[in-house]
Structure 1
Amino acid sequence: MQTITVERTIGTTKKAVLAGLGAYNDEKFGKQKVKSIAVSLKDGRKIVGGIVGHLWSTVLFIQYFWIDQKQRGKGHGTKLIAAIEDEARRLGAIRAHVDTMSFQAPGFYRSCGYQEFGTIDGYPGGVTRHSFTKSL
């Protein structure tokens, strides 16, 4: 008999879901390697900004992008995004994807050539989530 349970500790379920989804995707799409990419901005030895993403198939998924407040407005963001895009291209990427909140960086991504393809409203305070893509 099947049961449904709600869990607060997700480790075991997450592992099972990822294994099952991976097997299904491999069957339908062929085995695809996930390649992690990180690009950092350093002040001496201290990381003061960076981007973390992964390449799955031919698409770069930007997961996290942060620059210390003191380093903003100096062109570092543009250099960081160019660096991760260049590395993704080198690894075979032809497209990039990123989500950002309305209070974060939608204008920045537009200025870097990203095209918005969707939004999600309903966050507290009138915040909207923006989804962007770019051909590499």
Structure 2
Amino acid sequence: MTEDLPLEVTDVPDGADAATILDELSAFNAGEVGPSDRRPLGVFFRPAPGEPPEAGLTGYTAWNWLFTGNLWIAERHRGRGLAARLLDAAEAEALHRGCRGAWIDTFNPKAKAAYERCGYAVFGELPDFVAGRSRFFLAKPLGP
């Protein structure tokens, strides 16, 4: 029985412990489906060199997929097509890395509409994820 095994719950996981879990899970997954070849990816807009970004996208590529984890645009730059440019640049790099698809998620209706304009389609939804909003998962094929 597992009920007698002690568990530790924390809101401040030790970095080494978290690394162990990630390393072991990565090794397991590699044994199941092959290595992920996970690589970070970032695309940024800076008003001038050396200044903080005023828009950007961060994520990674793994198993020939691009995952966009964060996409943010400063209020004053919204509505000018910058999200599409950030996604285009990330997708171009993902294609260069051999990716066959991209995915992203959001619970912001405006972001969802922007991603759909960029060719992403909803493949999943978590209703009432937060504040009466659904969280949508969107994907887009890349390449030919």
Q: Do Structure 1 and Structure 2 share a fold, with TM-score over 0.5?
A: yes
- Normalization by structure 1: what TM-score? 0.92
Percent of residue pairs identical: 26
C-alpha offsets along residues 31-59 of structure 1, whole Å, 9 cap, x if unaligned? 22111110011211331101001000100
> 2:54: which partner in 1?
48
Unaligned runs of 5+ in 1: none
1:38 to 23, 38, 42: 42
Give the aligned CA root-mean-square deviation in angstroms. 1.5
> For residue 7 of structure 1, what is the amino acid of its counterpart?
T
Distance 1:14 1:104, change over 3 A: farther
Q: How much does 1:9 deviate?
A: 1.6
Unaligned runs of 5+ in 2: none
Residues 1:3 and 2:9 aligned together: no
Aligned positions of 1:104-115 closer than 5 A? 104-115=110-121
Residues 1:95 and 2:101 aligned together: yes
> For residue 35 of structure 1, what is the amino acid of its counterpart?
R
> 2:86: which partner in 1?
80
- How many angstroms apart in 2 are the aligned matches of 1:123 and 1:34? 28
- How many angstroms apart in 2 are the aligned matches of 1:13 and 1:104? 38
- How many angstroms apart in 2 are the aligned matches of 1:129 and 1:63? 14
- How many angstroms apart in 2 are the aligned matches of 1:43 and 1:109? 24
Distance 1:124 1:25, change over 3 A: closer
- How many angstroms apart in 1 are the aligned matches of 2:17 and 2:10? 9
- How many angstroms apart in 1 are the aligned matches of 2:83 and 2:35? 33
Moved more, 11-20 or 29-38: 11-20
1:129 to 122, 127, 135: 135
Query: What is the total number of aligned residue pairs between the two structures?
Result: 136
